[in-house]
């Protein structure tokens, strides 16, 4: 048991240390380590775990680590898998944040960040496109997406209330559709 937990910790430490950009960038490495190297979880199960990790609150990689850890070695497995994943980020950013302050005084760094900010817009658009492709293409989905955009971008409403309202709207639409389906049968 102890051995298993140590292996879990080290595996997720490696995943945390070698994936840049987080989230979706981590999925291939997680699959290789968890399914192929250790055989902890089957191929179908990891896809299901990732799907659940995407659809529950929190960062996808943290969710996946907790889930796989729990499957392999219970609550303490979940704890050490998550800890392993978080440590590299934590350490690297702690080191960088102190440097970042000093670097920001340098003219060249300011120019670099002005350029980088323009590049980041492209990265976020790409992320948007990836999410868009995966989303349902129903009328109600388009309406909810448009309303969420208008509510946050134009009316500056609090994001959390917008999310709760969208969840309720989705629930109503799907319950209504299910009821209509029952009636027509």
Partner 1 sequence: MIYITLFLTFLKIGLFTIGGGYAMIPLIQEEMLKNAWIESADIVNFIAVSESTPGPFAINIATYVGSEMGGIFGAFCATLGVVTPSFVIILLVAKFFEKFKTNKIVSGCMSGLKPAVIGLIASAVLSIGKTAFFPDGVMLSVFTDVKTYVSLAIFAVATVMAFRKVHPIWIICLSAAAGIAAGFIIGG
Scanning residues 94 to 153, which ones bind partner 1 (CB under 8 A)?
A: 94, 96-98, 100, 107-108, 110-129, 131-132, 134-136, 140-142, 144-153
Q: Is residue 10 close enough to count as binding partner 1 by CB under 8 A?
A: no
What letter does residue 165 receive in the DSSP assignment? H
Shortest separation between residue 1's beta carbon and partner 1, angstroms: 18
Q: Using N-to-C axis directions, what is the helix angle for 139-149 and 159-184, rounded to 10°?
A: 170
Between 1 and 134, name the residue whose CB sits nearer to partner 1: 134
Q: For residue 10, give the 3-state DSSP assignment.
A: helix
65-94: which residues touch partner 1 (CB under 8 A)? Answer: 66-67, 70-71, 75, 78-79, 82, 85-86, 88-90, 92-94
Separation CA 153–CA 87 (nearest Å): 35
Between 37 and 142, name the residue whose CB sits nearer to partner 1: 142
Between 6 and 123, name the residue whose CB sits nearer to partner 1: 123
Which residue from 35, 39, 33 is spatially nearest to 14, judged by alpha carbons?
33
| Residue selected from 53, 73, 80, 84 as contacting partner 1 according to rule CB under 8 A | 53
Cα angle: 100, vertex 105, 110; to 5 degrees:
85
How many residues sit close enough to partner 1 to count as binding (CB under 8 A)?
99
Q: Is residue 5 close enough to count as binding partner 1 by CB under 8 A?
A: no
162-181: which residues touch partner 1 (CB under 8 A)? Answer: 162-163, 166-175, 178
Separation CA 167–CA 45 (nearest Å): 26
Q: Is residue 42 close enough to count as binding partner 1 by CB under 8 A?
A: no
Which residue from 152, 173, 172, 175 is spatially nearest to 163, judged by alpha carbons?
152
Separation CA 38–CA 53 (nearest Å): 20
């Amino acid at each position: 048991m102890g051995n298993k937990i140590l292996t879990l910790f080290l595996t997720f430490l490696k995943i945390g240390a070698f994936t840049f950009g987080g989230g979706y960038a981590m999925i291939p490495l997680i699959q290789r380590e968890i399914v192929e190297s250790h055989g902890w979880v089957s191929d179908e199960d990891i896809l299901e775990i990732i799907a659940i990790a995407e659809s529950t609150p929190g960062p996808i990689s943290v969710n996946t680590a907790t889930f796989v850890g729990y499957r392999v070695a219970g609550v303490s497995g979940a704890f050490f898998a998550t800890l392993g994943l978080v440590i590299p980020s934590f350490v690297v950013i702690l080191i960088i944040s102190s440097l970042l302050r000093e670097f920001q005084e340098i003219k060249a760094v300011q120019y670099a960040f002005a350029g980088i900010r323009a590049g980041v817009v492209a990265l976020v658009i790409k992320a948007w496109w990836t999410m868009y492709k995966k989303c349902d293409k129903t009328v109600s989905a388009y309406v909810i997406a448009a309303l969420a955009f208008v509510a946050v971008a134009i009316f500056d409403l609090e994001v959390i209330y917008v999310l709760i309202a969208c969840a309720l709207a989705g629930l109503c639409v799907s319950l209504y559709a299910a009821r209509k389906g029952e009636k027509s049968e």
